[in-house]
Amino acid sequence: MRSTVIPHSEAPWLDHRQRLQSDDWLHTFQAWTGPERLLAMDELIDRCETSQVKHMMQLIEPQVVSGSRDATLRVWDVDSGVCVHVLRGHSAAVRCVQYDGRRVVSGGYDFMVKIWDPETQTCLHTLEGHTNRVYSLQLTGHQSLTSGMELRDNLLVSGNADSTVRVWDVRTGQCLHTLQGPNRHQSAVTCLQFCRGLVLSSSDDGTVKLWDLRTGSWVRDLVALHSHGSGGVVWRIRASDTRLVCAAGSRNGTEDTKLLLLDFDPEERGGEE
């Protein structure tokens, strides 16, 4: 079935009003949360022809960025499959990448976080402070379909194998907060997720923690696996404003592999849940 709500560029039956409707859809899509985007993509694939899906994917994510063990990043054109830019500057493998259409942010095994202008292929800032490999990155706002991570405004959050989380201003390269203290993670940070003015972090220690971005303070633990501290791991997290999904398991068989779904109130402060 052909859809006029999510059209492709070669649809002759579309009038000007319907093309504007497509623009409105894209604007709405970019404002949605991660779970809402996944549902929208399912609907897109189910309702539309292959050419329509391809066109909308190109509108949503016209370029993708990859990081490699060769210490480089490459920017690719989705339509042609051609590498259009190569970013060089890391001295070890690139582990995580974020791209918001203007800036590229990368984290590597050289303990560095770098902010790039992909068009000029220049490194704008090198963010130093982590004492081990950088495993996770989050910029606040737009969700990249290629990385499954969020990008927004001028805040970057990076998670590290040294168990710390750092909050950066990408305009200046300044570290605003290091999220640690007595309630810090006890092992490597595996994933990060923004939620309103807060950030959630998961770890090899089997916990998910909620942090206040403005103050850099710990709010509470949302998840603590039964085997946390003795093999339990929370591998990945995704969250809306009131719901959290965790992929959890263990490295030594102490915890079953499972998905956890939790309802929570981000505004609730104090006390462990």
The CA distance from 44 to 1, in Å, is 11
> For 171-181, how does the pLDDT look when each residue is reduced to its tens digit (9 = 90+)?
888 888 888 88
pTM value > 0.75: no
Contact of 23 with 40, CB cutoff 8 Å? no
Residue with tokens 């984290």: 107
Lowest mean pLDDT among 117-126, 141-150, 164-173, 206-215: 141-150
> Between these two residues, 251 and 229, which has the higher pLDDT value?
251
Residue with tokens 């480089």: 72
Is residue 197's pLDDT more than 70?
yes
Lowest mean pLDDT among 56-60, 193-197, 243-247: 56-60
Q: Give me the DSSP letters along the chain.
A: ---SSS--TT-TT--HHHHHHHHHHHHHHHHS-HHHHHHHHHHHHHHS-HHHHHHHHHHH-SEEEEE-TTSEEEEEETTT--EEEEEE--SS-EEEEEE-SS-EEEEETTS-EEEEETTTTEEEEEE---SS-EEEEEESSEEPTTT--EE-TTEEEEEETTS-EEEEETTTTEEEEEE-STTS-SS-EEEEEEETTEEEEEETTSEEEEEETTT--EEEEEEE-TTTTTTEEEEEEEE-SSEEEEEEEESSSSS--EEEEEE--TT--SS--
Q: Rounded mean pLDDT of 65-74?
A: 92
The CA distance from 267 to 208, in Å, is 16
Contact of 127 with 158, CB cutoff 8 Å? yes
> For 1-24, how does the pLDDT look when each residue is reduced to its tens digit (9 = 90+)?
333 333 334 433 334 334 434 555
> Between these two residues, 20 and 266, which has the higher pLDDT value?
266
Contact of 136 with 96, CB cutoff 8 Å? yes
Is residue 245's pLDDT more than 70?
yes
Residues 6+ apart with CB under 8 A from 183: 209, 218, 221
> For 97-119, how does the pLDDT look when each residue is reduced to its tens digit (9 = 90+)?
888 777 888 988 998 889 999 99
Residues 6+ apart with CB under 8 A from 180: 163, 164, 165
Is residue 35's pLDDT more than 70?
no
